[in-house]
Structure 1
C-alpha cells in the first residue's frame, strides 16, 4: 500500500472515530447547574427563518450559516445549546489540519455531551468541503449530542463516500480564523493520527442571529 493510500485509510479511520455522546432517556428535569438534560429540546426555531452563529474564539471570530430548512432538528439543538451558553469556554479538543477541527465537548475528552442524543438528518442535499459543519457521533445511528466538527481541508472530501454525519451549516465568514485554529500544533493522543492540541483553543461565546 503506497503512502497516499495509507494516509487516506488513516483519515477514514479517524472519521469513523468522530465521537458523540450517550443519553439517559428517563424522565427527569433539566439540571442547569451541570448543563445536562434528559431529552432533546422542543422545537423552537422556524424553518422559514435564516439563522447564523457568530463564534468568538481565542483565535478570533468566524460566522456559520445554519441550515435550518435542511437539518431542522440539528439546528434547533445547536441553537438551544448556544443560547444556554453550553459552548462557552469549551475547547477544540481534536484537530487534524487538512481534515477538520472538532469541539462541543465540555469535558474536553471527546466523550462528553448534554445527556441526550438527537436524530440523524442525513442526505439533506449538502456535501462535505472546507467550511462545512457537521455533527460528530459514534458509529451508532442517532448518537450525536453536542459535539460537531468543521471541515478544514481537501481530505474532508473523503467523507462524501461515507456520509454518516449530519451536515447542518457552513462557515460564511472568518474561514481564515478556522484555518488558524486548524494550524494549532498537535501531538499523539488517543488515536494514531496526531490530533491532540498542545495549545488550548477555546470558544468564548456564540451569538445566534435570525432573520
Structure 2
C-alpha cells in the first residue's frame, strides 16, 4: 500500500513538472532569439541542404574591422518571390555591418560556400536564398546560403550596437547571430516591437516600403521548425549608394 501511494505521488509530481516545462516553452511572450543554429544535425529542417555534419566555427573576419569605404550603401531593395521590400540602411550607425551586407548582396565581398568550402568572388551570396524561419508577430529570417539556419559566409565579425537604436517598433533590419560578435550573413526583419533583443543584435536598417510583403511572409504556413511550407525566395538584393 505504501509503495502504491509513493508511485502515485511520484507520478503526480512528474506530470506537474512536465506541464510546467511545456507551459514555459509555449509562452507566447518568450519567443526565441533570431539565432544562427550551430547544431546542424539535431536541427535539420525539411528541404535543407545535404552534408549533415557539425561544422567548425568560422574564423573572425579581418576585413570588417578596417575603415569602411566612404560611400557606403544607403538603401537596399530585397526582391522576393512575393514582392519587393525597400530598406533604408544605417551606415552611420553600423558601417561595418552595412558594408558587409552590401558586399555579400553585390558579390564584391568574398565568401566561402558552406556546401563546398570553395571561395566565392564576384558572386552574390543572397541570390536565390530563402526565408528559412518566419514567426508571426515576431520576425522573418533569411540570408543563409544553405537555407537551414546553419549556414553563413565562412567568417564572423563584431557587433555594432548603437545605444539609440532599439527594438521599439516593427520592421527593423538586424543581424542574426549565435552570440556576441558572431555576425555573418544571416539577418532578420521584425514585425513587432521586440525589446528583449536590445543589446543583443546589430540593427542596421529599417523597412520604408513593402511592409505588407513582410506581413505576408510572417504569416505564411510553416512546419514545426518555423520554415515556410512553400519556399519564399530572395531573388536578389539591390543596393543603392
Q: Per the shorter chain, which TM-score range?
A: 0.7 to 0.9
**d(CA) in 1 for partners of 2:213, 2:101:** 21
Higher relative contact order (CA 8 A, sep 6+): 1
From 22, 26, 29, give the equivalent of 1:8: 29
Matched, 1:71 2:71: no
From 57, 60, 69, give the equivalent of 1:45: 69
Equivalent in the alignment of 1:31: none
The two structures, once aligned, show a CA RMSD in angstroms of 2.4
**d(CA) in 1 for partners of 2:224, 2:90:** 34
Matched, 1:54 2:77: yes
CA contact (8 A) 2:93 2:162 kept: no
After TM superposition, where is structure 1 displaced by more than 3 Å over at least 4 residues in a row?
38-45
Q: What SS does the aligned partner of 2:92 have?
A: coil
Aligned residue runs from structure 1 range 180-195, under 5 A: 180-189=216-225, 195=226
Q: How many residues align?
A: 184
Structure 1 residue runs of 5 or longer lacking an equivalent are: 26-37, 190-194
TM-score w.r.t. the length of structure 2 is 0.69
From 192, 202, 211, give the equivalent of 2:233: 202
Deviations 1:33-64 (A, max 9, x none): xxxxx6545655327x6610011100000111
Rg (Cα) greater in structure: 2
**Structure 1 residues 50 and 205: CA distance shift in structure 2, 3 A:** closer
Q: What SS does the aligned partner of 2:78 have?
A: strand
TM-score w.r.t. the length of structure 1 is 0.79
Shift of 1:91: 0.3
**d(CA) in 1 for partners of 2:206, 2:156:** 22
CA contact (8 A) 2:73 2:98 kept: no
Deviations 1:54-110 (A, max 9, x none): 111000001111100000110010010011121000100000011000000010111
Equivalent in the alignment of 2:36: 19
CA contact (8 A) 1:20 1:136 kept: no
Shift of 1:198: 0.7
**Structure 1 residues 50 and 185: CA distance shift in structure 2, 3 A:** same
Equivalent in the alignment of 2:112: none
**d(CA) in 2 for partners of 1:122, 1:44:** 16
Equivalent in the alignment of 1:172: 208
CA contact (8 A) 1:20 1:144 kept: no
CA contact (8 A) 1:152 1:178 kept: yes
From 89, 94, 97, give the equivalent of 2:133: 94
**Structure 1 residues 39 and 86: CA distance shift in structure 2, 3 A:** farther
**d(CA) in 2 for partners of 1:124, 1:104:** 25
